[in-house]
Amino acid sequence: MASATRTFARASSAFRTGTRNTLLTVSRQTFRCQRRGYASEPTKSSSSGLLIGVGALALGGAGYYFYTQGNGSLLSGSSGETKGIFTPRFEDYQKVYNEVAERLEEKDDYDDGSYGPVLVRLAWHASGTFDKETGTGGSNGATMRFAPEGDHGANAGLKAARDFLEPVKQKFPWISYSDLWILSGVCAIQEMQGPTIPYRPGRLDKDIAACTPDGRLPDASQGNKHLRDIFYRMGFNDQEIVALSGAHALGRCHTDRSGFEGPWTFSPTVVTNDYYDLLLKEKWSWKKWNGPKQYEDKTSKSLMMLPTDMALITDKSFRPWVEKYAKDNDLFFKDFSAVITKLFELGVPFAESTEKMTFKPTNA
Ligand code: HEM
């Protein structure tokens, strides 16, 4: 620790004050985080990312590679000369997008054939901790890298998503984890044939001190009041709660993660409005098993609904939106794109000049 600190001190003295301050902040965070330790689930992914900073600093006389967290940074060549500030542009973010898309295509032996759904869940759980009253939580910080947040029951299983992204972070060390997780959610939705999701970069990774308390994400065993408590706290209304829930067209529940079991739809790796359609058209009854209370469809007995999903058709204000989205996929795509963009941007202090980016899907 001491020699790494000295290496940092030597290296940082070579740079102008503004950059040095940024680097010092990043480095102090790095050392503090190392002392405090990470969540038991995400240790590998998070520590290696932060260690990039230390590794870069340790290059010493061989030259320096310095990256801030996505908003521009000093980039030096291996011969030691400073090359200038690296400011990522749209093309750079599209490269990250393409890399995630390529890995999604390659790694098709996971779950139902794609990491896409779990990447969407990672981006949502990173964002869904936001509290509009205090301005805390949200995607700006990627604090799920640390215990206790990574170990919150609601986040069980998301290490798979973080590990999937670690090689991408290593290939593009200039992007913050916070921006990477959201960009990957955007990529997963688009690559799974969903709507275009506009993206803005600018999130900064925060220290362990910014971890949010347990209990900010929804509890699937509850009902409509709980959904409103959780989503109103983030700043959403009833229509938006229903539109966001359409993400459950994707993926599945796992007994070793949430305790629940099974997918919501027959095409869990394609974004569709099937979730709403099935909610309305199927007959749902309690599944007979020893696990937590969940519903199963009468026809195939292979699909599931959570108590919170069923609340969308028993609640008078939610139900009309379920009916609208079941009838009109274009409307669902339009509203889903708008509401998930809002979710991904909760509490992020973007610079005014930050423009929305639209990535080209690889299968377009
Ligand atoms: C409305 C309240 C919500 C509740 C109670 C809830 C609960 C759950 C639960 C229990 C799982 C299963 C986790 C597992 O066992 O692997 C799950 C999975 C998932 N959730 Fe939600 N969720 C909610 C909202 C959302 C929202 C707003 C999104 C995204 C916009 C979302 C996206 C997903 C996805 C994509 C999966 C599948 C993950 C996978 O296949 O690994 N959920 N959710």
277 in any annotated domain: yes
**153 and 98 in one domain?**
yes
In this structure, the residue with its CA closest to atom 24 of ligand 1 is 245
SS3 state at 131: strand
Domain end residue (candidates: 210, 240, 272): 210
CATH number of the domain where residue 167 is located: 1.10.520.10
**192 and 158 in one domain?**
yes
273 in any annotated domain: yes
Active site residue 254: no
Q: Which atom of ligand 1 is nearest to the CA of 157?
A: 16
Ligand 1 near 279 CB (within 6 A):
no
Residue 86's pLDDT is what? 84
For residue 319, the enclosing domain spans 224-336
Domain end residue (candidates: 210, 233, 268): 210
Exposed e or buried b per residue across 321-358, where buried means at least 16 C-beta atoms within 10 angstroms of its C-beta: bbebbbeebeebbebbbebbbbbbbbbbeeeeeeeebe
171 in any annotated domain: yes
Distance 120 CA to ligand 1 centre (A): 9
Residue 11's pLDDT is what? 32
In this structure, the residue with its CA closest to atom 5 of ligand 1 is 220
pLDDT, one tens digit for every residue, the chain (364 residues): 333 333 333 333 333 233 333 333 333 333 333 333 354 443 333 333 333 333 333 333 333 345 555 444 455 545 555 666 789 999 999 999 999 999 999 999 999 999 999 999 999 999 999 999 999 999 999 999 999 999 999 999 999 999 999 999 999 999 999 999 999 999 999 999 999 999 999 999 999 999 999 999 999 999 999 999 999 999 999 999 999 999 999 999 999 999 999 999 999 999 999 999 999 999 999 999 999 999 999 999 999 999 999 999 999 999 999 999 999 999 999 999 999 999 999 999 999 889 999 999 997 7
**242 and 180 in one domain?**
no
56 in any annotated domain: no
Distance 158 CA to ligand 1 centre (A): 11
**277 and 232 in one domain?**
yes
Residue 364's pLDDT is what? 72
Domain end residue (candidates: 151, 186, 210): 210
Domain count, the chain: 2
Cα–Cα dist 281/241, whole Å: 20
351 in any annotated domain: no
DSSP state of 280: H
Alpha helices in the chain (DSSP H): 2-12, 17-36, 43-57, 90-106, 116-127, 159-171, 177-191, 224-234, 238-245, 274-281, 307-314, 319-327, 329-345
- Please state, in angstroms and as integers, the Cα–Cα distance from residue 292 to each residue in 213, 256, 258, 260, 312, following that order: 24, 12, 9, 6, 19
Cα–Cα dist 238/308, whole Å: 13
CA geometry: angle 312, 315, 320, nearest 5 deg: 70
Residue 84's pLDDT is what? 67
Q: Which atom of ligand 1 is nearest to the CA of 308?
A: 5
In this structure, the residue with its CA closest to atom 21 of ligand 1 is 248
Query: Using one digit for the tens of pLDDT, what is the confidence trace for 172-199?
Result: 999 999 999 999 999 999 999 999 999 9
Active site residue 125: yes
**233 and 194 in one domain?**
no
CATH number of the domain where residue 271 is located: 1.10.420.10
